[in-house]
Amino acid sequence: MTKLSQPPGGQSSTFDIEEDEFDEALGLLDNAIKREETPEEHRNSMRAWKWWIVTMCLVTIYSAILTSSENQQKRLITQNGNFQCPAIEKVPENVQGFEEVFSESYEEVSNSLTKNMTKFLEEFRTRAFDDWGETYEKAKAKKRDWKRKHYVPFLNNGSSIFESACGIGLNMYLTLEILSEEAGIENLTVYGNEYMDASTQKANAIFDEIPPAKSRKGQICTSDSTDLSYIPPNSFDLVFTGYLSPMLDPLHFGMEDIELNYDRYFKLCDAKESDWEEKKLSKIAQQRQQDWFGQWVAEMARIAKPGAPIILESISNPLCEERDEWGGVSKEWWKVVSTNNTYAWDVDPKSLEYGGDQIFDDRYHVFMKKKVADQIRE
Ligand SMILES: C[S@@+](CC[C@H](N)C(=O)[O-])C[C@H]1O[C@@H](n2cnc3c(N)ncnc32)[C@H](O)[C@@H]1O
């Protein structure tokens, strides 16, 4: 213990100090002298350093907050649908081997209908189009009840809506008109995808030229409905399709003639129990069809917001049960796969509802809701 009569700070008081503290104080003094700094100056410069460090920390924290809010902003923009349309890379599996037949029935029809766009826009309400076999006005009348019950309660002014495989966009168009007429719901932002580029272009032109019910076009892209990976999850208030195009050749027979191809599948349907190979092939064909439907709906469910409706219109029954159609799935199938979450749709099986198709007697509509966030985490 050393007694100092004068503390390093110069105040005249007497106090006790440990030897090593004393050495340290001397060292400080020494250093200060070497740098020609008084202890007071040294303390001030240490204070300045502390302030500098605190200021730098604050600047870092502030810029981290700014960056995270910018990211949040970016996420919001993406969620509002500001995504890039992809380049279509391959023919979707449902159409493979039948590209020509397919483009005859969709691309050529849509091209011929809309050859003269101005005329088309003037006349489309009273013309039959697509494969509805009905005029726009009649199709709209036949879809009105279904849309009033299953679309209206889930949308508001300014909601966003997506149609998978939207063709030239007239089912979307009549949907927006019905929402406005039935409930005054307007200002929707409209999104969609379609495989036939000619149809996508028409859909874009229609929504650019004469958007109904004060709607605003988001993006309508040329893409495969079973791969919407360019769209962020949880993006839309309602996702629907007017028709889920089945696989035309689930066993990849690859025949050139679509009629012959279907005859081959019908033969498998009719196989006797003893023809176990054919029976088995028929089962595999139906399983592949189901997986195709599962994959298509999985993409629709992924891009729907939690709690949002996912609506499938004009669904066909399995080919062996409904030979006038192109193939499909049974009503029971929806119950089983939504309960088991077979395709990770994360929909609430209790929300499942069916409706009769007023345009095609042998088809049905399906309504279900994506689980809310808490249910998905379960
Ligand atoms: C019956 S039309 C329905 C068009 C539209 N929903 C409507 O009601 O006006 C079926 C549409 O599905 C499209 N399509 C078929 N398979 C597709 C796929 N894998 N991806 C995207 N679109 C597909 C066809 O090109 C066609 O335009």
Nearest CA to ligand 1 atom 13: 165
| Alpha-carbon span 303 to 51, nearest angstrom | 49
Q: Is 170 in the pocket of ligand 1 (CB under 6 A)?
A: yes
Smallest CA separation from ligand 1 atom 16, residue? 245
Which ligand 1 atom is at minimum distance from the Cα of 131? Answer: 1
Reduced to 3 states, what is the DSSP secondary structure of residue 311? strand
Domain with CATH 3.40.50.150 in the chain: 88-377
CA 56 – CA 61 distance, rounded (Å): 9
Q: What is the pLDDT of residue 308?
A: 98
Distance of CA 181 from the midpoint of ligand 1 (Å):
26
pLDDT(74) > 60: no
Question: Checking phi first, is residue 214 left (phi over 0); if not, alpha (psi -120 to 50) or beta?
Answer: left
Instruction: Determine the Cα–Cα distance for residues 190 and 309; give it in Å rounded to an integer.
Output: 15
Q: Ligand 1 centroid to 106 CA: how many Å?
A: 8
Cα separation values, 27 from 8, 40, 43, 115, Å: 11, 14, 14, 93
With CA atoms as reference, report the closest residue to 238 among 312, 167, 292, 177.
Answer: 312
Which ligand 1 atom is the nearest neighbour of the CA of 95?
Answer: 16
Task: Choose the weakest-confidence range: 70-79, 130-139, 235-244, 354-363.
Answer: 70-79
Q: Which amino acid is at 367?
A: F
Tokens encoding 326: 């192109």
Measured in angstroms, how far is the CA atom of residue 159 from the centroid of ligand 1? 23
Least confident of 37-41, 66-70, 149-153, 193-197: 66-70
How far, in Å, is the centroid of ligand 1 from the Cα of 329?
Answer: 17
Joined tokens for residue 105: 């029935």
For the CA of 242, the nearest atom of ligand 1: 6
pLDDT digits (tens, 9 = 90+) for 304-341: 999 999 999 999 999 999 999 999 999 999 999 999 99
* CA dist., res. 292 & res. 319, Å (int): 14
What confidence tens digit (pLDDT) does each residue in 12-36 have?
333 344 556 556 655 655 555 455 5
Supply the DSSP string of 64-102, one letter for each residue.
HHHHHHHHHHHHHHHHTT--PPPPP-S--TTTTT-HHHH
Measured in Å, residue 212 CA sits from the centre of ligand 1 at 21
Average pLDDT, integer, range 249-259: 88
Per-residue pLDDT, averaged over 135-152, amounts to: 97
State whether the beta carbon of 185 lies less than 6 angstroms from ligand 1. Answer: no
Protein residue whose Cα sits closest to atom 12 of ligand 1: 165
Q: Nearest 5°: phi and psi at 219?
A: -130, 135
Residue 167 alpha carbon to ligand 1 centre in Å: 5
Give CA torsion, residues 236, 337, 357, 122, to 10 deg.
Answer: 30
Confidence of residue 363 (pLDDT cuts 50, 70, 90): very high
Alpha-carbon distance of 216 to 207, in angstroms, equals 8
Contact 327, 290 (CB under 8 A): no
Residues in contact with 323: Cβ distance below 8 Å, sequence separation at least 6, in sequence order: 266, 269
Could you give the strand order of the β-sheet that contains 309-315, starting from the edge strand earlier in sequence?
Answer: 216-222, 189-194, 160-164, 238-241, 309-315, 364-370, 347-356
Quick one: which of 296, 201, 282 has its CA closest to 246?
296
Tell me the H-state helices in the chain: 19-34, 39-79, 99-103, 109-113, 117-123, 136-150, 170-183, 197-209, 258-269, 276-303, 331-340, 373-377
The reported pLDDT for the residue numbered 36 is 57
Q: Of 77, 71, 75, 79, give the one whose Cα is nearest residue 308.
A: 79
* Domain at 88-377, CATH from 3.40.50.300, 3.40.50.1100, 3.40.50.150, 1.10.443.10: 3.40.50.150
Average pLDDT over residues 274-303: 97
For the record, the structure tokens of 153 come out as 């309660």
Ligand 1 center–CA 245 separation, angstroms: 6
Q: Cα dihedral sign for 75, 80, 82, 85?
A: positive
